[in-house]
Amino acid sequence: MLDKWQNHQPETFVCINKWQQTPDTITIELQPLVGAESIDFKPGQFVSLGIRIDGKLLFRAYSISSTPQQSTLELTIKRVDGGKVSTYLVDTLAIGEKIQLLKPTGDFNCIDHPPENQSVLLISAGCGITPVYSMAKYWLEHNANIDICFIHVAKSPSQTLFFEQLNQLDRDNSHFNLQLLLKDKVNTDCHQGRLDKTWLEQLTPNLHQRTVYLCGPEGFMEDVSQYLQQLEFNMAQFFQESFTPIAATETETLTTALTLNVPAFGQTLTANHGDNLAAALESAGLPLLVACRSGVCGSCRCKVTPNSVNSSSSMTLTAAEIEQGYVLACSSTLIDNTDVSF
């Protein structure tokens, strides 16, 4: 079992396979540079992937589409408009190329949040299907006797990730109920329309007996959450992924210049009150790992002077780390001079 990630440092993997899922989405299969019998993670989790582009190591977070305890790891990646990393991975990444991965992480998983009644509803849209697809395969592979209703929203069959695999799972498993809801009017047996609370009730047998796992674009997830609440669903049995970049915190209009001392790199930087800590470090060219930019992956963990930042997330930090002064740079804004260490 691969359990070598230490002190938040990345491990080297090699791309051993790459294939097209849709016109703008690929899946890559990665193997540890130093072989491992199996790679452990919780279905639904993600990894922070680092790739060197134009001489700079850039990190981004991607959900895992394979299942645990395999000798390789699969990531499914959609090209993002203007996205340097996703564009490189889709267009340029070659088999045999090396990639850096941080340890799998994420609270959105089916191990820490198991279904209460052996009955689940998986809801996804677009590339948000990746983590819940991993969950579904995990339950089916382990004969978990979980009743799975899987609602996925996509534009068309050709734009539906894992289209053939999902239909095969539906044919092979009596307790797997696939419901595809397509936006385009095409000649297909799939449902057509926009997901709303009426569709939720219509497509989901025994909705109120299920645990719901949701992943998709932020607006889509907000809508689904509202529909469930309108249907008086027990939201204690509702879990969703969150890769939403943290919005800048509103602060008083101040132009106070602050000093950031970064002894590990022998630099003293200047930033403004209210600046994002990660952005200030990156603008100085420091090699900070910032993958999710949502305060959920922990890649940008650093230690600062007490009371020098306001933090909106400490999701991946332990109580001991918080006590020692560690913060997540991507979700911290500067309010005073500070020393920064890693």
DSSP for residue 103: P
**Contact in structure between 196 and 227 (CB atoms under 8 Å):** yes
- 40, 60, 221, 242, 295 from 245: Cα distances, Å: 27, 12, 15, 9, 8
The mean predicted confidence, pLDDT, of the chain is 89
Nearest 5°: the CA angle 109, 113, 118 is 110
**Contact in structure between 263 and 341 (CB atoms under 8 Å):** yes
- Residue type (1 letter), 260: L
The pLDDT, as a whole number, for residue 146 is 95
**Contact in structure between 45 and 110 (CB atoms under 8 Å):** no
What distance in Å separates the CA atoms of residue 27 and residue 92, rounded to the nearest whole number? Answer: 13
Sheet of 211-215: strands edge to edge?
191-192, 176-182, 147-154, 119-125, 211-215, 238-240
pLDDT tens, position by position, 177-220: 999 999 876 667 788 889 999 999 999 999 999 999 999 998 99
- Residue type (1 letter), 269: L
The pLDDT, as a whole number, for residue 245 is 52
pLDDT band at 316, cuts 50/70/90? confident
Q: Which of 105, 97, 133, 96 is nearest to 291 (CA)?
A: 105
Q: Radius of gyration of the chain from Cα atoms?
A: 21
Tokens of 284: 């100085």
Average pLDDT over residues 234-253: 69
The pLDDT, as a whole number, for residue 220 is 94
Helix ranges restricted to H, the chain: 84-91, 129-141, 163-172, 197-203, 218-230, 277-283, 319-324
pLDDT tens, position by position, 4-39: 555 567 899 999 999 999 989 999 999 999 876 789
The pLDDT, as a whole number, for residue 251 is 46
Tokens of 248: 């800048």
The pLDDT, as a whole number, for residue 265 is 86
| CA contacts within 13 A on the Cβ side of 236 | 4
The pLDDT, as a whole number, for residue 4 is 54
Q: Which domains does the chain have, with CATH numbers?
A: 11-101 (2.40.30.10), 119-240 (3.40.50.80), 257-341 (3.10.20.30)
The pLDDT, as a whole number, for residue 130 is 96
> In terms of pTM, does the model score above 0.85?
no
pLDDT tens, position by position, 137-158: 999 999 778 999 999 999 988 8
**Contact in structure between 336 and 305 (CB atoms under 8 Å):** yes
Rounded to the nearest 5 percent, the helix, strand and coil shares of the chain are 25, 35, 45
High-pLDDT (> 90) share of the chain, %: 65
